[in-house]
Every structure is written in C-alpha cells, then in structure tokens.
Amino acid sequence: TVHRHTTDLAMAPGSREKLAESTLGAARDELVRGLGGLLGQPIPVATGDGGTVPDGTVLDGAVVVGTPTSSPLVGRTVAARDLAAVGDEGYLVRSVSKGRERFTVIAGNTDLGALYGTFAFLRLLQTQKPIDHLRVAESPKIKHRLLNNWETERLYAGNNPSGLGGLNGESGAIFNFAATGASAGRNLPVILDRYLVMARALASLGINGITINNVNADNAYLTSARIAQEAALADALRPYGIRLGLSIRYTAPTDSRFAPDTLTNSQLDPYGADFRGWWHRRAQQIQSAIPDFMGLTVKANSEGQPGPQDFGYDHGDGANAIAAAVAPLGMTVHWRTFVYNAEVDNDRLKRAYLEFGPIDDEVQPDGSRGRFADNVFLQTKNGPLDFQAREPIHPMFGRMENTNQALELQITQEYTGQNWMLAYLGPMYEEILKTDTYATDATGKLLKKRLVGNIVDGTAQHHPDTAIVGVANLGNADNLTGHHFAQANLFSFGRQAWDWTLDSADIATEWTRMTWSNDRRVVDTIRKMMMGSWESLVSYQTPLGIGHQFAEGAHYRPDPADWAGRDDWSPIYYNKADSVGLGFDRSPTGSNLAAQYFPRLQQRYGNIDSVPENLLMWFHHVPWGHRMDSGRTFWDELVYRYQMGVQYVTWMRETWDTLQPHIDARRFAEVRAKLAVHEADAADWRDTSVNYWKEFSGRDVPVDDAPLS
C-alpha cells in the first residue's frame, strides 16, 4: 500500500477512473484492463497471500508481477543477481517454464520497477511482439525523468486554443486549482479522471516527477490552501511513482499572502538566516503534506523574474542559499540557466555560459572546484537560444564539470507549430542527445564517453545524480495534448528520458502501433510522415540555421522584420540580413560563440567550410553567392529548402487521406483538418520569408522553385 496524506481524497462524481490503492494494485489494474482490452475477454485475478497462487489456480499462462518481497514466486523464478543489476526502478520480464506450466514473470526490486515492467510487457503485446521467450532486463539511464508543466504559458493542449475538451471556467490547464463557474466543483482536492489518465501515461514511460506550475512562478502555489490541494494531487499520483515539485519565485518570502511569515527586501540576503529560514519553514510545511516532495525549480534574473543579482549576489549565492535551506529535507533545487542579461555580452547566445561557467570553475576553500551545492541542478535548455526548431547544442554541456546538469527539452510546441503543425520531435531529441560535445579532461584528452546523452546520464563526468526535464504539452483537451500527433512527442520524450540511446524511428513505430494500428501499411506510412516532419518544419520556418524569425508574442507565424521591443527578441537581431548575405557571425571574426565549445567543435563551427550546413547561419553571415554542398548558391539553396519544406507538408496531407479506411472517423477528420491549416501556414512561412530575403539578396526565385503562391 502507499500512504495517503489527505483525508478527503476523492474522485469527481461520475468518474470512470479509480484511485489506485497501491503501486502493485496499479500494476494489476493495468494488466486487467490492458489484457482484457487486447484479448477481448475478462482476465481472472489471483492475489496470492504471501505470493503463492491459491490452491486450484493453474499457473499455466499466468502473468506474475511483483518483487521478491511481495511474492516468493518472483523470488524463486528470477536470479537475485539479475534483479540486483536492474536497480531501484528497473525490471525483468521473463518467460518461465516449470514442469508443464509456462508463465511470465514481471519482477522489480521495488513495486515501481514492477509497475514499469508491467507497462513494458503491455507495450510488447500492443505492438505485437512475440512474448513466448522473453528475457527483458531494463533500467533507466537517467535518474530523474521529469516534466515541467508551465500550466499557464505556452499551453496548446487546452480547451481555449484547440477547441477540444474542457469545461466552462477551466483555464485549459491540466490541473484545476482555481477553476470558476460551472467547473468550480471540479477543483482539487477533487481528483479528475484526466489526472489519472495522465499518471498512467507518464508511468508507462517511466516519468517519475512533475513540477506542476510555470517557471514564471505564482506564489499562490506556496500558500497553505494550495499546498493542501497539491497534497491531494500528490496522493493520487504517488502509486504511479510520480513525485511533485514546484517552481518558485526567488522573492516569494516578501509576499504578503504569507503573513505573518513575511520578510522585507532587506531580509533577502542569501547568506542571512532570515532568507534561508523562510525557505526551510516553507519546505517543511510542504513536506509534512507531501513527504516525497522533490524540490524547487527556479527561474531567476531572467525575463523579469527576480533573483540574487537584484541584491548584489550571483546565481551561485542564490541557488546555494535555497539549496541549503532544503537540503536537510532531502530536496533538490533546479536552477535554470536560461538567462541573457544584455550587459554580459552583445551576443545573447554567449551570456549563460559567461555567467555560470566561472562559478562552476571557482576553486573552493577546501581546494575542490565548483561552488554550486550538491543538491543543485543547473537546468539548461538544449540550445543556447530558446527552443528553436534546430539549434546547436548548448555550449555548457560538458563544460560544467563540477555541477549537476539537467537537460531541458521542450515538448510543448512553442516554436514548432503549437497545436496546428504535425512535427514529431523524437528525431530532434535524438540529434541533441547524440551530438558529440568533444569534451576533454583537464589534460585536454578527449573523453571516451562524451555525447550530450553521456553528459546528462552522468557517464561522461561521473555525476551520480542525473536529470532530464521536458516542458510538458499537457492540457485539459480530451486527448491531453491537443493535436493527436503531439502525443508522440510526450511519448518519445519519455522513452528517450528512460534510454537516450533509443532510435527515434523505432519509437515512432512503437507509438504508431500503440496509437493507430498494427497494419503494416498504416505503420509504415505514419512512421514515414512522422520521421520527415520535423526536418520539413525546420525547412519552411528556419532553414540552414537561421535563428528565431517569429512574430512577436505568440511565436507561431513568421515576421522577419524588426519588432518594436527588446533588440535581442527581434528577428533582425538574428538574421542580420543585408546586401552581402544572411546570418549571425559567431565565428572568430564575429561574436566568437564558437570559442565556448570544446576545441573540435570550436574549429568545426567557427569555419564556414566545416560547419554543418544545417547550422550554417547560427555561426556565419553567409554571402548570397556562397557555394553549398549541393552545388547551388546559398540563395538558391535557401529558396529550395523553403519549397521542400512546404512540399513535404502537402505530401503529408495527401498521404493522410489515403489512410482514411484504416483510421476511426473522428481522429481521421481531426488530423485532416489540422493538416490543412498546417499546409497553409507552412506556405505562409515560405512566402513571407523568401519575399523578405529577396529585398536584400536582389536575386530572383529560381525558376524550378516557382511558383511561390
């Protein structure tokens, strides 16, 4: 059994889901439901007292789930050594023969491991893999596989934008903390079906934590009333191994909502007892309601959020202060590195490393290096700008030897088509995770394991504590993610968070089989659509490494011209279009961002002849006549890419139509409608961009690529 900490935990009236009473209970329920659905017949359940199957029950054909503690049969059928090797959250799935009886054992060292194994077993069945000779042994490569649920920002899966699901007064967020109108009775602590659908989906992927609120944090989440609501949510998710975290605002202690326990600005000194004491008390209060609470995520001195720099201190001082306050409670602090203070450097992309690098490198009084505390993770976006469809890796990966690193990926499609465009991001995550950092040791020798994935899973630089974070695409839409294909991004993130070495095409196949059909033709067609979709989006939005070119605010449509606001938000800051060419010179003749990378990458990126063409304009101001690998001029290649990108979307729309006989009518129509919008909006990107660049290049659109609409 799992412990519940609130007394009033209840499902909303009329719910179809039911609260799991324990992790193994959840495993049993999944098998009953999953096998029942797949086999089309009721599944008998035998709960053996002490693990033995009750007399008279035939073991032949059974599926036995548990740990050696919950079931001696599990202990007898799998070798202790094999089980020990998969660790706390891993599992074994084994086909066993005993006399004439053949059965399947799903074993974990913990109940959670057994639940993960259960989902893996169901996945094998659902994807029609053979299950008669199973010898599966799995364990996650990364310890904390987390979601950040921004809740109030960049949400494309809610009732507002998608028109799917949701009730009167709900914000579109997945969790109801403060819904009004007809939905007021559906607020936490009332548990809604969708929370458990979400929990089951996340557990099936091995996601083990969720920070529930936006990093632009609202202090309301720390009030007593909210904590009581959060405790109910934590109780409901606990059987699925999903722990809760919160994003916090650095200056929360001064909020009058916490009166009488409020501080004044002058008490916010990170080295003072007042500041640390406040965070300790608040964390203690949370922990007494949510004993397995993970910790706090902080966006500080970034985009208007307050932070230690407002009080004359740096990120290390601030992060360590909160970390020290929560360390005795076993909690962590995820300190985000998405900072770009204009005073640091003219090139926005260089700023984070310039601020964090020296703190990581600093020699400490005891002679060791690195000032960040052990329970601090620096949480860094995959690239140095901001979740653009393709970016070079963030130069900090590998460079921060002395600090725990968490990789932050965006699942919600802020810059990748929101809930309108079909863009499967598995290949993007894969590209990032498998990029070689060329990291070296202190003597300059290349590390053996040095892909971004190795940095994140700790094998490169021997970090025992590891984390990966996805910015969630969850909302109250009845399919949870808005676009049906957006589910694939959550799925892929989860699978890659578990094992970053997986192939994104295999993941697409798996998802397609589980979501749409096991028909060979359907699987091949959908996988093909998915696998080219991200590259096509890159091509019609921001080909060849041209940075952020989005219209202000929404980040959906193109607007390569100047914005009125901050200069480092404006597309012209990134495109630098002129009569010579296009792109931002970050080579040694320009800002020299290239120098922040390890030597091999520094040389590769710094030279226009060796930089990968798909990153070209991230690092160079490229002359219009520059000769490309294809033999085309840069201008011709650019136009060609925009065209190809749109053509791919046309092909996807036409191809989807051929699947009509194989797909249920509702989902077929919903995807079809989205693809039509997608195609029109992709064409808008191409036309707006090409017509704008043409003003600078003074060149014609190549005849082959005409007509632009």
Q: Quick check: 386 and 550 in contact, CB under 8 A?
A: no
Cα dist from 421 to 219, 478, 484, 515, 653, whole Å: 34, 18, 11, 18, 11
CA 502 to chain centre: 16
654: annotated active-site residue: no
Q: Which residues bind ligand GCW (CB under 6 A)?
A: 150, 153-154, 214-216, 299, 303, 338, 386-387, 414
Cα dist from 550 to 206, 420, 473, 486, 573, whole Å: 34, 15, 20, 21, 12
Closer CB to ligand GCW, 68 or 383, in the complex: 383
Of 409, 500, 497, which Cα lies nearest the Cα of 454? 500
303: annotated active-site residue: yes
Q: Is 241 helix (H, G, I), strand (E, B) or coil?
A: coil
Of 418, 315, 412, which Cα lies nearest the Cα of 371? 315
Q: Is 88 helix (H, G, I), strand (E, B) or coil?
A: coil
Closer CB to ligand GCW, 417 or 458, in the complex: 417
Q: Among 414, 535, 679, 681, which one carries the catalytic annotation?
A: 414
- Which residues make Cβ contacts (< 8 Å) with residue 429, sequence separation at least 6? 409, 492, 493, 496, 504
Q: What is the DSSP string of 297-326?
A: EE--SSTT---GGGGT--HHHHHHHHHHHH
Output the smallest distance, CB 382 to ligand GCW, in A.
12
Closer CB to ligand GCW, 516 or 556, in the complex: 556
Instruction: State the sign of the Cα–Cα–Cα–Cα dihedral 529, 535, 540, 541.
Output: positive
Q: Among 111, 386, 430, 457, which one carries the catalytic annotation?
A: 386
Tell me what percent of the chain is helix, strand and coil, each rounded to the nearest 5. 45, 10, 45
- Which residues make Cβ contacts (< 8 Å) with residue 611, sequence separation at least 6? 604, 605, 619, 620
C-alpha 100/C-alpha 439 separation (Å) is 55
C-alpha 321/C-alpha 273 separation (Å) is 10
- Which residues make Cβ contacts (< 8 Å) with residue 41, sequence separation at least 6? none
Closer CB to ligand GCW, 147 or 439, in the complex: 147
Output the smallest distance, CB 175 to ligand GCW, in A.
17
Closer CB to ligand GCW, 413 or 461, in the complex: 413
DSSP structure class, residue 708: P
Three state DSSP letters for 93-143: EEEEEECCEEEEEEEECCHHHHHHHHHHHHHHHHCCCCCCCCEEEECCCCC
Closer CB to ligand GCW, 171 or 602, in the complex: 171
C-alpha 232/C-alpha 192 separation (Å) is 11
Q: Which helix (H) or strand (E) holds 675?
A: helix 665-697
Closer CB to ligand GCW, 162 or 337, in the complex: 337
Closer CB to ligand GCW, 91 or 338, in the complex: 338
Output the smallest distance, CB 410 to ligand GCW, in A.
8
457: annotated active-site residue: no
Closer CB to ligand GCW, 90 or 308, in the complex: 308
| Burial (0-12, 13-18, 19+ Cβ within 10 Å), 75 | middle
Q: Among 153, 303, 374, 700, which one carries the catalytic annotation?
A: 303
Output the smallest distance, CB 599 to ligand GCW, in A.
30
Output the smallest distance, CB 302 to ligand GCW, in A.
6
Output the smallest distance, CB 214 to ligand GCW, in A.
6
Residue 238, token pair as written in the block: 């606990």
Q: Is 233 helix (H, G, I), strand (E, B) or coil?
A: helix
C-alpha 17/C-alpha 353 separation (Å) is 46
Q: State the Cα torsion 437-438-441-447 to the nearest 10°.
A: 100
C-alpha 533/C-alpha 582 separation (Å) is 25
Output the smallest distance, CB 533 to ligand GCW, in A.
21
Output the smallest distance, CB 352 to ligand GCW, in A.
12
Output the smallest distance, CB 673 to ligand GCW, in A.
27
Output the smallest distance, CB 415 to ligand GCW, in A.
7
Closer CB to ligand GCW, 278 or 387, in the complex: 387
Q: What is the DSSP string of 452-512?
A: HHHHHTTTTTT-SS-EEEEE----SSTTSSSSTTHHHHHHHHHHHHH-TTS-HHHHHHHHH
Annotated catalytic residues are: 303, 386, 414
